[in-house]
Amino acid sequence: MKLSVLDQSLARSADTPGEALQESLVMARHCEALGYERFWVSEHHAFPSVAVSAPEVLLAALGAATSTIRLGSGGIMLPHYSPYKVAEVFSLLANLYPGRIDLGVGRAPGADMSTAAALSPDGRPRFERFPEQVAALSDYLWDPAAKPLVSPRPPAGLPLWMLGSSPDSAVLAARRGLPYNLGLFINPQAAAELTHLYKAHFQPSELQPAPYAIITTSVFCADDEARARALQLTFDLNFYRFVTGQSDGHSLTPEQALAWPVGPREEAFIASRNRNRAVGTPAQVRAQLQDLAQRFAADEVMVVSNMYYLDDRKRSFELLRSVFD
């Protein structure tokens, strides 16, 4: 099974984004040494616990810190930007790091709507224009006759990935002949029909003659199941506190999470996220990921392991890689 990584540069508190970004550099080198296929980074805005608002900037640093692993955006939230500018930025990255850059784009805001409005030059986000933007971006990247000219010219074969968690993104990826990444960690309730829908409607393109689907899912792997469950509980409680406005900008540690008075609302929230992720020992996680890959007809699995401690994240990826070698 091909394995890749999505890193979200989670900050343990609102005043530690620099530490989170340095840990992303450490993780990229670690995952490269372990033999992972790709290392992608996400885009979020106005999230105190997420340090990456400009993935293209982090990708430049990651390229300098590594030498072989593919690097990509998971993803650029295209409705915020000019397709021409995105083409320029990723053409520059692909020229800096030949054969190693993936451009993943999505339609989601990666923020609340007031922040999305602030990102738009005229204060009016245009998410409905996403298909048009994808078409324009494709032309700028691959059509030598497209005007204005993108400079530096994009290297031949710079891939454009469609990210999503709904039927709309699956169908758009299929019609455009693009590789597809389904975000199960975003939408744990997503059905396997999405990747099957993508593959059934796929129209071959010059760069992508056959469909190719990645599923991105949460993984919490540890030497023993109790530790893995504690790491999963820590993330779930911190995420719950954030989305319900109860977070003070500081994340609970695993030790604090285990002592937290989990009530019915927290239990329901955690239960809603338990589908389509992998938690446990290496053997348990291997079996769960193999089941997911089979059900979703995935060509590759990308994992996100949002653990409080860097050493736990490093160990999780070591254990995961060991059972798939």
Tokens 């709309």 belong to residue: 168
pTM for the whole structure? 0.96
- For residue 122, the one-letter residue type is D
Q: What is the DSSP letter of 244?
A: T
Q: 194 is written with which tokens?
A: 């999405």
Separation of alpha carbons 70 and 32, rounded Å: 9
**How many CB atoms within 10 Å of residue 32?**
19
Query: What pLDDT is attached to residue 13?
Result: 84
Q: What is the DSSP letter of 166?
A: S
- The closest of 11, 65, 77 to 39, measured between CA atoms, is 65
The SS3 call for residue 219 is strand
Average pLDDT over residues 248-267: 93
pLDDT digits (tens, 9 = 90+) for 282-292: 999 999 999 99
Q: Which of 28-37, 132-141, 247-256 has the lowest mean pLDDT?
A: 247-256
pLDDT digits (tens, 9 = 90+) for 138-174: 999 999 999 999 999 999 989 999 999 999 999 999 9
Query: What pLDDT is attached to residue 248?
Result: 76
Tokens 């050493």 belong to residue: 311
Is 90 exceeded by the pLDDT of residue 12?
no
Separation of alpha carbons 318 and 285, rounded Å: 13
Q: Which of 7-16, 81-90, 156-165, 254-263 has the lowest mean pLDDT?
A: 7-16
Q: What is the DSSP letter of 13?
A: B
- Give me the domains of the chain, ranges plus CATH numbers: 3-225+278-322 (3.20.20.30)
Separation of alpha carbons 275 and 285, rounded Å: 13
Average pLDDT over residues 114-118: 90
pLDDT digits (tens, 9 = 90+) for 21-73: 999 999 999 999 999 999 999 999 988 888 999 999 999 999 999 999 999 99
Helix orientation angle between 17-34 and 310-322, rounded to the nearest 10 degrees? 20
